[in-house]
């Protein structure tokens, strides 16, 4: 990557120690430092990274970046031989500055992904598709904010050809800020829903915040958009960037890449056909001038996706669309999808007590993703199903309505039994009851402990082979419910 003098110059920081020591990659946790890393000593809510500088050097860090004000509060820090310490005003700003510089120096194509649902899954799928042809680097888990995104960029190796960056959002201007660091070439919006209503107030503000990704693209950049998403199509009509649409029915826009003939296969997979319209385009090789070229692979291709549900098929189509734009043939992209690996806590399948099957989807939740997962439960579980649903956060004034709608979906889909966890989730129970689910099949608890006990009781009485969905927002820590219900 760079030597310590180059890093100090980029940051306009004060360099102590060896000015020639080489550094590559970074860490903010001294326990995760690798040989030759930059260690950023950041001040957190509970931990001060400056307390672990010596430990980082011992683990192999070659360069430490610390905040001058914090360092002055300590006794003089002795810089070991062959190491460097760079003093800056803000460690976080220093990380972001270096990430911006490294992104430019890499010269890799950047694919950025945002949306109200499916960001992390789509990121994993894009990596699987592009990994068939290119050396790719992506966020770990959902390191998608002002800290995780620059860390991801700085940990990309010199041979990276495509950076795949998930972008999270908690307010207006935040995606624009991340784009200023990442400078994306392709922007993917999975959908524009009601998540973050609590922070942004209106659907219009949520749409504006997501669309900052498309606005940040260069003139030659490509927007990859969901033709089934009304807001994405509406905003695209007033945007000058070349848009590539994917979809199933083409509810709001005819898809350039369409998925058809969806059928379940295996335990949790979906088989479908992906077909590219003849007039669709690609930007050519990622190292080319970006001129549009006509596609030749327009025959339908069979996709074996190791995930269930239409929502995951849509995410797979978005990933294949990115592949089209970067000249990955559909057939090759499908091979990548068939062998893909998901980030943790998303649609994990576990054997459960009483010969049940657990679908643990506990990383996050909103009304759209809840209903999609319930459809998967109905599709796979048949007549013996149990939904254990917790609270959904960040819905603002739409919270009561959102929970109620999920409850209605439980009843409409014919789910056998419902357990809700948390006060807000009582609206799920109310929605299910008022839509016709028997009160005897609805069980509400304020905490996980009561829910676990009831679930164990239900699974002991239901038919063998019951399928169980466990889902809620991350703060509910529903993985503990999964752990308690797993077999063995």
Q: Which residues are known binding-site members for ATP?
A: 115-121
Sign of the C-alpha dihedral computed for residues 101, 107, 108 and 114 taken in this order: positive
Phi and psi based region of residue 224 (left: phi greater than 0; alpha: psi -120 to 50; beta: remaining): beta
Backbone angles phi and psi of 487, in degrees to 5: -75, 135
Query: Whole-angstrom Cα distance, residue 66 to residue 56?
Result: 12
Which residue from 352, 412, 417 is spatially nearest to 389, judged by alpha carbons?
Answer: 417
8-state DSSP, 246: E
Query: Whole-angstrom Cα distance, residue 268 to residue 287?
Result: 37
Sign of the C-alpha dihedral computed for residues 48, 24, 141 and 88 taken in this order: positive
Binding-site residue numbers are 115-121
Give the CA angle between residues 185, 186, 191 to the nearest 5°.
145
Residue 101 C-beta-side C-alpha neighbours within 13 Å: 14
Query: Whole-angstrom Cα distance, residue 211 to residue 32?
Result: 35
Which residue from 422, 464, 461, 424 is spatially nearest to 440, judged by alpha carbons?
Answer: 461
Q: Strands 467-471, 356-361: parallel, antiparallel or unpaired by DSSP?
A: parallel
Q: How far from 452 is each of 4, 457, 479, CA to CA, in Å?
A: 53, 9, 11
- Kindly report the number of other CB atoms within 10 A of residue 176's CB atom: 16
């Amino acid at each position: 990557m760079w030597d310590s003098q180059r890093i100090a110059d980029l940051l306009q920081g004060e360099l102590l120690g060896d000015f020639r020591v080489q550094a590559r990659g970074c860490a903010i946790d001294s326990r995760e430092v690798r040989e030759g890393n930059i260690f950023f000593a950041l001040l957190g809510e509970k931990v001060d990274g400056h307390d672990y500088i010596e430990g980082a050097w011992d683990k192999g860090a070659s360069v430490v970046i610390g905040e001058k004000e914090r360092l002055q509060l300590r006794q003089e820090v002795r810089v070991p031989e062959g190491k460097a310490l760079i003093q800056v005003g803000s460690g976080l700003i220093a990380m972001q500055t270096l990430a911006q510089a490294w992104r430019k120096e890499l010269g890799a194509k950047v694919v950025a992904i945002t949306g109200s649902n499916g960001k992390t899954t789509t990121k994993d799928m894009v990596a699987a598709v592009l990994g068939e042809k290119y050396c790719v680097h992506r966020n770990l888990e959902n390191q998608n904010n002002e800290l995780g995104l620059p860390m991801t960029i700085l940990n990309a190796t010199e041979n990276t050809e495509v950076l795949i960056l998930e972008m999270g959002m908690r307010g207006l201007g935040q995606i624009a800020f991340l784009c200023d660091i990442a400078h994306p070439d392709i922007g993917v919006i999975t959908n524009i829903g009601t998540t973050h209503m609590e922070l942004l107030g209106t659907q219009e503000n949520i749409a504006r915040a997501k669309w900052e990704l498309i606005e940040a693209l260069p003139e030659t950049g490509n927007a990859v958009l969901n033709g089934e998403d009304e807001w994405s199509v509406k905003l695209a009509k007033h945007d000058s960037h070349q848009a590539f649409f994917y979809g199933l029915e083409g509810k709001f826009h005819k898809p350039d890449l369409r998925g058809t003939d969806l059928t379940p296969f295996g335990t949790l997979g979906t088989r479908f056909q992906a077909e590219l319209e003849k007039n669709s385009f690609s930007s050519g090789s990622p190292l080319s001038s970006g001129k549009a070229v006509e596609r030749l692979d327009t025959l339908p291709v069979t996709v074996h996706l190791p995930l269930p549900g239409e929502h995951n098929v849509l995410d797979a189509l978005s990933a294949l669309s990115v592949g089209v734009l970067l000249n990955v043939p559909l057939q090759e992209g499908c091979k990548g999808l068939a062998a893909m690996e998901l980030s943790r806590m998303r649609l994990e399948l576990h054997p459960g007590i009483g010969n049940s099957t657990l679908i643990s989807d506990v990383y996050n939740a909103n009304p759209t993703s809840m209903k999609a997962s319930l459809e998967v439960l109905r599709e796979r579980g048949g007549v013996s199903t149990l939904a254990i649903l917790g609270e959904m956060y960040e819905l603002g004034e739409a919270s009561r309505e959102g929970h109620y709608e999920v409850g209605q979906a439980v009843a409409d889909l014919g789910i056998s039994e419902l357990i809700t966890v948390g006060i807000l989730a009582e609206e799920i129970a109310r929605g299910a009851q008022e839509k016709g689910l028997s009160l005897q099949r609805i069980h509400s608890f304020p905490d996980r402990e009561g829910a676990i006990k009831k679930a164990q009781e239900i699974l002991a009485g239901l038919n063998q082979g019951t399928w169980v969905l466990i889902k809620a927002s991350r703060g509910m820590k529903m993985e503990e419910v999964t752990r308690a219900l797993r077999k063995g």
